[in-house]
Amino acid sequence: MTSPLPAAGRRRLVLVGHGMVGQRFLEALFEQEGAQTRRQVTVLAEEPRPAYDRVRLTSAFSGTTAEELSLCPPGFLAEHGIELRLGDAVTGVDRRERIVHTASGHRVGYDELVLATGSYPFVPPVPGRDAEGCHVYRTLEDVAAIRDRAAGARTGAVVGGGLLGLEAAGALRDLGLVTHVVEFAPRLMAVQIDAGGGALLRRKVEALGVSVHTGVGAQGIETGPDGRVRAMTLSDGTRLAVDLVVFAAGVRPRDRLARECGLPVGERGGIVVDARCRTADPRIRAIGECALAADGHVYGLVAPGYAMAETAARELDGQDARFAGGDTSTKLKLLGVDVASFGDAHGRTDGALEVLYANSRAGVYKKLVVDADGALLGGILIGDTDSYASLRPLAGTGEPLPVPPEQLVLPAAPGRQAAGAAALPDEAVVCSCHHVSKAAIRSAVGEQGCGSVAAVKKCTKAGTGCGSCEKLLGEIVTEELGTADGAPARGLCEHFTHTRAELYEIVRVKGITTFARLVAEHGSGRGCAVCKPVVASVLAGLGDTPYILDGEQAALQDTNDHFLANIQRNGSYSVVPRIPGGEITPDGLITIGAIARDFGLYTKITGGQRIDMLGATVDQLPAIWRRLVDAGFESGHAYGKALRTVKSCVGQTWCRYGVQDSVALAIELELRYRGLRAPHKLKSAVSGCARECAEARGKDFGVIATAAGWNLYVGGNGGTSPRHADLLLEDVDRATLVRTIDRFLMFYIRTADRLERTAPWIERLEGGLDHLRAVIVDDTLGICAELDSLMSHHIQCYEDEWAATLADPERLRRFSSFVNAPGTPDPTVRFVPERAQIRPARPDEDGHVLPSLIDTALAGKASAP
């Protein structure tokens, strides 16, 4: 089948490959004005899904989904009229007829062809490499295959000790396997780091229980009678008993299409292109890992690939664009070890000088390479990579460092100047993934009106690639906002010049218990819908009686808190009782079912392992609560900016993979932090093993069991900007874990802005996760005792808001649809039956008030209007 001809005047552009670089090419192409009217674009992809983030591929082992990794925004393809054919590999290119052939027999004509075919894993010619249990590590399908195999394995070996190999080793270790790394070079990460750094990295990796074999290669793979891997022999005669092997020994350019259609390729692979990313055929371009750039390099990192994609897109638009080489800097955490390398890290430049600091006891290795004039050429950072973001942009600028280089590697001393945002020249590239300079960031703030890091990210794409520049990006934005005319006010709203965190401290230190006193002494006016709920939350969290509807407090709440329930689209309310850890007895289930049946409520199991009952009217809420409280339930705080749930898997008690009792811990944490008022809602989870069934890394604080204890992750969230949590502590005991979570939550509540989730809060903290760890683990600010006391106060003062309401007739008076006719249902709240339950009636439907619907439903005669 042949694709139809394009509309008159539109050129046919075919992109082969829809990986990270291919998607960036499409984005860059359609950033050009009028691109859609000039081209009909077809994308042919071998994989079964659109572009996804291979940089974060390892996170798929811990539960990150393909949708979460996706780089293709919803609606992007349709918006630009792009035809994407998934799972249909290109088998050949007819340059004379300008036709691309696919495996399905499809024939696609082109006027312009872009090859973004990427690379394939290199598998050494080891006898037995095709045995069952041998895998490569490149795609999401590879991850799934490795994970499935690991479920029945005990020991794994990774062939390759580079970036990809150490990532794979970390994944196997987290899956619970005894893990070996086999590297032919004399050290780990030989391309990025030197002998000294390699020696330290090896010690740190081996301290984690991973066996490292360097200077040897895989000699052969033995199989058992069932054809499965059972051992690997090394070139030094060592025999490793393994039942899973992952080959991560590097990649090779996928240049077969170019070879077969007669395009020149390099001696060691790669489609030969010029500085404009053009092949020998002027109608064909190649970008990314499949291309041999004009400087003689095949780049295997995302930043150079993006730069090539942007070059090709601009060239096709008629601009004069050149690819001048790629940034091969790297910063990542491998097996929990921070490693960074940038610029001329090995000192190959003539006249290069080294400045070195090594502390084996502390696990820190830092090396800067400078020229005779003190200009930075490159560097290596292991164990402490905090300075990477500010040092990398300085490398290669030719400008002398702002301070002596030894000052940048030695441990910080009080008053010592560091190289930060202010030291960077405007031309310095801050974001190497998208080649965004400091000048472009400053322009986004000063000239384009971007008033936050998020706005600058959206405008410039800085910080949206690997993320290593986010801290520096924040510094530049903050610096620019501080000097820009009309910089936004820091205050909470027009009535308070203080931030939420400052108001929290004022209330705490001065013992203020009312909004009226706070606004009189530290604000102006009568307050608004912004500041009133914020202050109400602070007062509820710090007061000795945290019931939120007493006295003045009731007037400060928003609609949900005002009625201790979530209002729905038709004016009805939902009731969500707390079900700690998702654990519930049969009697509890029966109680909830009976209540929902008797009140005609719609029921749904939530994503947080609770049961939501929707459709209640205001006057029904106390009656529903009474039955729930009598049965032992309490408020789940689904309506408040508070802890929602602590989700859990079944853990060690039931699951054959579990290594700790996740249910018991989840229940303990949920009951400990129930009712804790915060700047935003809080979600948590506890997983009983590294398989992560409770999705703990998508939560504000998540816990994952290990054989030695518990790992604590913080700063994850879903929503419009999903983010995985970061590892804060490893293998800690239960007491240490709970104490650290106490402090994390109280420090967040104390310092976060209004409606700020934990993820952006941590990103905003100066020093980020490392600063957070220093404060709540190392107590560098000396406030941990105070944080402990605040949490203890919350636990002692907690009372269930539903039970407290039911115990006070005065409080109950507010729960009525009509003051002059208590118990009368609101006739404007109407429902219609659907799937044997109810839903809110749409404006064009003749719905029923709830009592009449119950009658018809119970009689089995309900019918849709």
Domain 11-120+253-316: which CATH number of 3.40.50.720, 3.40.50.150, 3.50.50.60, 3.30.460.80: 3.50.50.60
State how far the Cα of 704 lies from the Cα of 624, in Å rounded to an integer.
Answer: 36
What pLDDT does 472 receive?
78
Q: pLDDT grade, residue 859 (50/70/90)? A: very low
List, in sequence order, every beta strand (DSSP E) within 126-199: 134-136, 155-159, 178-183
Single-letter residue type at 821: A
Q: Could you identify the residue written with the tokens 């006027």? A: 111
What pLDDT does 829 receive?
78
State how far the Cα of 486 lies from the Cα of 774, in Å rounded to an integer.
Answer: 35
What pLDDT does 463 receive?
75
Q: Which CATH superfamily is domain 424-484 in?
A: BFD-like [2Fe-2S]-binding domain (1.10.10.1100)
State how far the Cα of 592 lies from the Cα of 628, in Å rounded to an integer.
Answer: 7
* Interval 597-627: pLDDT, tens: 999 899 999 888 899 999 988 888 999 999 9
**66-70, 115-119, 176-180, 273-277: which range is least confident on average?**
66-70
Q: pLDDT grade, residue 63 (50/70/90)? A: confident
246 with 156: CB under 8 angstroms?
Answer: yes
Average pLDDT over residues 740-759: 93
What contacts 24+ positions apart, CB below 8 Å, involve 725-733? 725/696, 725/697, 725/698, 725/699, 725/700, 725/701, 725/759, 726/762, 726/769, 727/336, 728/769, 728/772, 728/773, 728/777, 729/773, 729/777, 730/336, 730/706, 731/706, 733/709
Tokens of 453: 């890091």
Do 134-249 and 336-419 share a fold? Answer: no
What pLDDT does 540 receive?
78
Average pLDDT over residues 207-216: 90
Average pLDDT over residues 636-660: 91
* Interval 345-395: pLDDT, tens: 888 888 889 999 998 878 889 999 999 888 999 999 998 888 888 888 888
pLDDT at residue 488 greater than cutoff 50: no
As a whole number, the mean pLDDT across the chain is: 86
Question: What CATH number labels 641-804?
Answer: 3.30.413.10
pLDDT at residue 176 greater than cutoff 90: no
Q: Where are the domains of the chain?
A: 11-120+253-316, 134-249, 336-419, 424-484, 500-557, 641-804
Bigger pLDDT: 318 vs 158: 158
User: Is the Cα torsion angle 470, 472, 473, 478 positive or negative in sign?
Assistant: positive
What pLDDT does 555 receive?
57
φ/ψ region of 340 (left if φ > 0, alpha if ψ in -120 to 50, else beta) reads: beta
Average pLDDT over residues 131-155: 92
CA distances from 853 to 592, 603, 617 (A): 20, 15, 14
Domain 336-419: which CATH number of 3.30.390, 3.30.1360, 3.30.429, 1.10.3470: 3.30.390
**101-115, 500-514, 535-549: which range is least confident on average?**
535-549
838-865 in b/e form (b: 16+ CB < 10 A) is bbbbeeeeebbbbeebbeebeeeebeee
Domain 134-249's class?
alpha beta
Single-letter residue type at 248: A
- CA 642 to mean position of chain CA atoms: 22
What pLDDT does 830 receive?
80
* Interval 686-733: pLDDT, tens: 999 999 999 999 999 999 999 999 999 999 987 767 889 999 999 999
218 with 123: CB under 8 angstroms?
Answer: no
